[in-house]
Amino acid sequence: MNNMRKIKFGIIGCGLMGREFASAAARWCHLLKPTAIPEIAAICDKNSDLFDWYLQSFPGIIMATKDYRELLANDEVEAVYCAVPHSLHKDIYIDIIKAGKHLLGEKPFGIDMQANQAILDEIEKHPGLMVRSSSEFPFYPGAQRVARAIQENEFGKIIEVNAGFLHSSDINPNKAINWKRMVDINGEYGCMGDLGLHVFHLPLRMGWMPERVYAQLLNLMPERSDGHGGIVPCETWDNAILNCDVRTEDGRYFPMICKTYRIAPGETDTWYIEIKGTRKSIAYSTKYPKTLMTMDYEPGGTQEWRREDLGYETLFPCITGGIFEFGFTDAILQMWAAFVEELATGNAGDFGCATPEETRLSHRVFTAALESQRDKKAVEILKS
Ligand SMILES: NC(=O)c1ccc[n+]([C@@H]2O[C@H](COP(=O)([O-])OP(=O)(O)OC[C@H]3O[C@@H](n4cnc5c(N)ncnc54)[C@H](O)[C@@H]3O)[C@@H](O)[C@H]2O)c1
């Protein structure tokens, strides 16, 4: 990898996700044919206690700062990964772009529709920069098989699509509140802002933008422990069911039921998509990460689901043998490979990271869902 182009990255927000990126960069040797390699050059977090792990693991870090403006002023930093709370997305993403750095931002890419639009307006002024949003689940081999099946369009009439992302730890009433459960920091979208782009990235890439939505939003735990013996209000939505109407190219409609749950008993981090059609059906869930379910149906024939064990079938080839299993950190690595490849060559290959436009569309859906919940009616979704 000595002669390979090196892209110096700064990380703003060194928490849960900052570490995931740094770890992916550290195992770039896992990829067989990368055209460029990310190097962690600078880190920034308000909490300097987080720096030690980075400094011990990445001797190439030349700057560790509590002030992100200092990181942005560093000419060596070419690109930034920003993983901070949602209330900070707008200001920090805009400053990153204004500083002339490429950006992989985190979802929801702005705390609300106005913040998202402000970020997109700034991106438009800097056409030379590459800006994408994080969303790793479509990089699972099973998700990619589903994407290919959609492109091959062999479903006959689509009967319904189910997609979702399910977490369960909030079922514990003793779990203390954190910023992801506070409206002013996480946003009014609640669980949709946190989990929703993961669910919509693949459908939107396939052109399945809903025309209307009827939302059922639940706040199952309106109070939580404050972590210090007290109880505080917890106003964010825990669970969302978005009943969407999607129009096909030939003018028919199918229901797409999208769930983002923080309280889904037994589910730790389950991303799934299932398409049922009159000729073909397909289902994939990270709950059984190796297993792809398909059913092909000929009129009058038998109806049998087929189960295939998927191996390590990746978009970007790796050292891991095809017989082995794929997991969350592999999806993170593949997503980063797509970002770095596109930055280095202008081409992400078969499936790039979520685009700013896809985040814009997802905000349209979530904003309409809030209106639907408020007015208890289906809401038309504005595309522009
Ligand atoms: N892609 C995924 O699978 C995934 C998973 C979890 C979270 N996320 C997203 O990543 C982002 C961050 O979430 P997280 O789970 O890593 O949160 P986190 O709380 O673990 O980390 C956020 C970090 O930002 C730091 N921070 C706050 N204000 C700052 C400032 N002004 N300057 C610099 N640093 C500051 C905090 O100190 C904290 O360390 C969110 O947008 C979230 O939605 C994505």
Q: Is the CB of 336 under 6 A from ligand 1?
A: no
* pLDDT tens digits, 112-141: 999 999 999 999 999 999 999 999 999 999
Domain boundary at 133, 154, 178, which? Answer: 133
| Atom of ligand 1 minimally distant from the CA of 179 | 19
Domain boundary among 86, 118, 133: 133
Position 366 in a domain: yes
Task: Report the predicted TM-score, pTM, of the whole model to 2 decimal places.
Answer: 0.97
Instruction: Show the tokens assigned to 364.
Output: 């349209």
79 lies in the same domain as 223? no
Assess if residue 119 is contained within a domain.
yes
Please check whether residue 380 lies inside any domain of the structure: no
CA atoms within 13 A on the CB side of 348: 18
68 lines ligand 1 (CB under 6 A): yes
Task: Confirm whether 328 is domain-assigned.
Answer: no
Give the domain-ending residue among 89, 105, 133. Answer: 133
Q: Report yes or no on 341 lying in a domain.
A: no
Judge if the beta carbon of residue 194 lies within 6 A of ligand 1. yes
pLDDT at residue 250 tops 90 = no
| Predicted local distance difference test score (pLDDT) of residue 382 | 80
- 178's CB contacts (< 8 A; 6+ apart) are none
Q: Report, as an integer, the average pLDDT of 149-177.
A: 95
Alpha helices in the chain (DSSP H): 16-26, 51-57, 68-72, 89-98, 113-124, 141-152, 183-186, 191-205, 328-345, 356-375
What is the pLDDT confidence band of residue 286, given thresholds at 50, 70 and 90? very high
Q: How much distance in Å is there from the Cα of 84 to the middle of ligand 1?
A: 3
Q: Are residues 24 and 119 in the same domain?
A: yes
331 in a structural domain: no
Q: Are residues 79 and 220 in the same domain?
A: no
Instruction: Please count the structural domains in the chain.
Output: 2
Distance CA 35, CA 33 (A): 6
> Is residue 332 situated within a structural domain?
no
Taking residues 241-259, report their average pLDDT.
Answer: 96
CB distance 85 to ligand 1 below 6 Å: yes
Atom index in ligand 1 nearest the CA of residue 44 equals 33
Shortest-distance atom of ligand 1 to CA 50: 39
CA of 265 to the centre of ligand 1 (A): 25
Say if CB 327 and CB 316 are below 8 A apart.
no
Whether residue 157 sits in one domain with residue 88 = no
> Percent of the chain at pLDDT above 70?
99
Please say if the pLDDT value at position 1 is more than 80: no
Same domain, residue pair 200 and 183: yes
Domain span at residue 48? Answer: 5-133
User: Domain holding 298: CATH number?
Assistant: 3.30.360.10
- 237 and 286 fall within a common domain: yes
With contact defined as beta carbons under 8 Å apart, do 68 and 44 qualify? yes
pLDDT over 80 at 383, yes or no: no
Mark whether 48 and 88 lie in a shared domain: yes
pLDDT at 2: 64
Residue 267 lies in a domain: yes
- Shared-domain flag, residues 239 and 289: yes
> What residues have CB less than 8 Å from 9, skipping those under 6 apart?
21, 25, 38, 39, 40, 41, 42, 77, 78, 79, 80, 81
Residues 272 and 153 in one domain: yes
Domain match, 23 and 87 both = yes
The best mutation among 16, 23, 67 to test binding of ligand 1, ranked by most ligand atoms within 8 Å of the C-beta, falls on 16
Report the CATH number that the domain containing residue 111 is assigned in CATH: 3.40.50.720
Are 150 and 69 part of one and the same domain?
Answer: no
Task: State the pLDDT confidence band at 249, using cuts at 50, 70 and 90.
Answer: confident
Going from the Cα of 213 to the center of ligand 1, the distance in angstroms, rounded, reads 29
Q: What is the tens place of the pLDDT at every residue in 43-79?
A: 999 999 999 999 999 999 999 999 999 999 999 999 9
Instruction: For residues 109 and 146, state if they share a domain.
Output: no
The whole-chain average pLDDT of the chain stands at: 97
- Residues ≥6 apart with Cβ < 8 Å to 272: 162, 163, 164, 165, 166, 283, 284, 285, 286, 287
Residue 189 has pLDDT above 90, yes or no: yes
